[in-house]
Chains A and B, each alone.
Chain A
Amino acid sequence: MPGAGCEKPAPGEHKKRYDMIAYIVKRILGLIPTLIIISMITFIIIQLPPGDFVTTAQAEIAASGGGMDASAVEAMRIRYGLDRPMPVQYWRWVSGFPRGDFGYSLEWSAPVWDIIAGRLSWTLLLSGLALVFMWLVSIPIGIYSARHKYSLGDNVFSFLGFLGLSVPDFMLSLMWLVFATMMLGISASGLYSPRMVDAPWSLAKFLDLLNHLWPPIVIMGVVGTAELIRIMRGNLLDILNQQYVTTARSKGLLEKVVVQKYAVRMAINPLISVLGMQIPKMISSSIIVGYVLSIPTVGPIFLRALITQDMYLAGAILLLMTVMLLIGNLLADIALAWVDPRIRY
């Protein structure tokens, strides 16, 4: 790129790097009060259903024909600490966080973290890969659509984009399941094909895993891709009318360079924000898609924990998903500040 090779760091460049670190630290510190409030809200929400874990356990026992007398119920309550007032229960939960102790699951009789750690990482993995997918697919298509506005390709992509926006992820997952099983005869649910499940780790198993991962990633990414394409196209069209693009052209640059270096580079900035806004949707979507396609994300466990009022488990899952979202937003903001020299902090 002409001009790029002969820049010394700008006079403020070193200061800028220190500023950036200070900015990051400031943001992280600012997250703490937010996290505290969120943990309180989470706790309250989890407590909303009437009764508690013991009530649900009681109901289940009653449903299978047994019964519990009052003293046994009381003993159970005390054992689980459910007889204490709310703020105390809250504090007992929260105080374990710095140690990595997110409480104890009453139903599974195990520390919460052990139960959810693996599943949360699947949620993280799927969401993250879906975001990458969105980024890689939508930018070239968005550029193409803007430069060939109203062409056949543009219209086709627009229409596909609209379709992608409209078909709900659970519907797409169902359709894929039916299609894959009926038409293609392949296994579409779970992480591995039935014959590979217990097999030792090998290249074949890895490929099998990938084969099971790409459908949920694509399904999750489709909605965001459609939105990103439309925004990229719209931004690029606006930017192509901006003065600095005309200036660049008047210098005698190749049209290709004008578009890439001046237009696209500017259009990408808002896209980072939009990508950041996709993070909550991806987390939500991973639950639904994971549910339908039997990928071990936190969805089914969360559902069950909500119903049985296994409060520490449910609370921790909700809280950790929220934390994921907040960290994702922070990363997006940092990326934006890095990329756009106009943002001052």
Chain B
Amino acid sequence: MIDYKGRSEHIKKLYERQNTLDESIAHQMMSSEKIAFATSQWRMMWRKFIRNRIAVIGGIVILLFYLTALLANFVAPYTLQQRMTAYSFLSPQRVHFFTEGRFQPFVYGLKGSRDPKTLMRVYVPDPEKKIPIRFFLQGEPYKLMGLFPASIHLFGVEEGIVSLLGTDAQGRDMFSRIIIGSQISLTIGLVGVALSLIIGAFLGVASGYFGGWVDNLIQRVIEIIRSFPPIPLWMALTAALPPHWPPLRVYFAITIILSLIGWTWLARQLRGKVLALREEDFVMAARLAGASDGWIIFRHLIPATFSHIIVISTLAMPAMILAESALSFLGLGLRPPLTSWGVLLKEAQNIQVLLLYPWLMIPGSFVAISILAFNFLGDGLRDAADPYTV
């Protein structure tokens, strides 16, 4: 028979003797067990992001696109305006990768003729003529990133033509035009989102933090702007651009116009986040410690919303790219010589032309791919930004 009453009393005395837990003992004891590490918030987010393979793929695609856009003139075998009228309306060429067993890509030379019935240009590959594709070839000169003169291209051919995505009515290589056009399409998005963010972050945070009449005023302004359907509004605004303006000015005007509606979404998002954060205890604590409003906003609230800002910026990009493409497609927005994917698609609007030469629609798939990639990336970032839910 156990003297349980005695042991019970004894344990009570043990407690009375006990001081608070000696941390080193606890750590020694835990060493033989599995422990989940306390990780920093950023590391947790990264871990969660990496697990999402689709988001990672999206991120890689975006990175690739932007890298290519940066070095566009180098990657493209031809320049924007290079016309090879002998090869107009050429369909995408097939690249063969092996010559007699070795890795040496080449294309067949082409014999062009006109189909007597449809009057369509027809090209027949000449199996006798194998034109090798050379890398790091000297070609038409250009300015890399608009600054450094150079003339080496990533790949090209010494005679004939290598047109991976076909040519247009004037014999301009679509692949080159798409790559160089990506510079505008992708950067308008960046600049537009950056502008929207500056305005939207400022007004959204102010609106959420100060409340009262500031909030009311800003919200009314946002409401009024959002009452207009976006495309008609942009149409009206871009129609106001004088036609004689230089391309660069047009570019910036377009980004400003796009940002004029874009900031409202960002402002709303941030306002919501700030409203929630404002009630948190750490804000109260900072106020009690004597922090000024500015301090609280810049040192506490903005860092807390940082991950959210990254997410909504990423998610705002597709809308910008889409808007620019749509406007250029309609003929407002950018005009030649400025080239973007939207402008390229405008040239493909003629249905008769499209039926005969459908590869002219390919710029549209680039728009779709970049939007897809941004959405995957943005989604993955959004999931990762909340690493505490599964």
Contact = CB atoms under 8 A, between A and B. Distances in A.
Q: Do A and B bind each other?
A: yes
Interface of A: 34, 37-38, 41, 45-46, 48-50, 162-163, 165-171, 174-175, 177-178, 181-182, 189, 280-281, 283-285, 287-288, 291-292, 302-303, 306-307, 314, 317-318, 321-322, 324-326
A4 to B, nearest CB: 34
Interface residues of B, number: 41
Given A38-B224, A166-B371, A170-B329, 5 more contacts: A37-B224, A162-B376, A167-B364, A174-B354, A314-B236
B179 interface: no
B361 A175 contact: yes
Contacts of A38: 224, 227-228
A284 B227 contact: no
Interface in B366-381: 367-369, 371-372, 375-376
A181 B355 contact: yes
Nearest to B325: A168
Interface in B216-248: 223-224, 226-233, 235-237, 239-240, 242
Contacts of A166: 318, 368-369, 371-372, 375
Contact of A177 (B228, B318, B351): B351
17 contacts: A34-B224, A48-B237, A50-B242, A162-B375, A168-B325, A168-B364, A174-B354, A174-B364, A177-B351, A280-B228, A287-B231, A288-B231, A288-B330, A317-B232, A318-B228, A321-B228, A325-B228
Given A37-B224, A165-B371, A166-B372, A171 B235 contact: no
B236 A171 contact: no
B351 A306 contact: no
A174 B365 CA distance: 12
Interface string B342-363: 0001001101001100100100
B239 A49 contact: yes
A171 B364 contact: yes
The CB with the most chain B CB atoms within 10 A, among A280, A303, A325, is that of A280
Nearest to A329: B227
A32 to B, nearest CB: 13
B334 interface: no
B228 A189 contact: no
A181 to B, nearest CB: 6
Contact of A284 (B229, B348, B369, B375): B229
B326 interface: yes
Of listed B237, B318, B345, B351, residue having the most chain A CB within 10 A:
B351
A284 B322 CA distance: 12
Contacts of B237: 45, 48
A167 B368 contact: yes
B236 A325 contact: no
A49 B228 contact: no
Given A166-B318, A288-B330, A325 B227 contact: yes
Nearest to B322: A168
A165 B319 CA distance: 10
Contacts of A302: 232, 235
B330 A303 contact: yes
A234 B353 CA distance: 43
Interface string B314-326: 0000100010011
A280 B226 contact: yes
Contacts of A306: 235-236, 239
A283 B348 contact: no
Nearest to B367: A168
Nearest to B372: A166
B368 A326 contact: no
B375 A49 contact: no
A170 B345 contact: yes
Interface string B297-338: 000000000000000000000100010011001111000000
Contacts of A41: 224
B229 A178 contact: no
Interface in B179-223: 223
B260 to A, nearest CB: 11
B367 A171 contact: yes
B229 A325 contact: yes
B73 to A, nearest CB: 26
A41 B355 CA distance: 42
A287 B232 contact: yes
A181 B351 contact: yes
Contacts of A163: 368, 372
A288 B228 contact: no
A295 B237 CA distance: 24
A284 B230 contact: yes
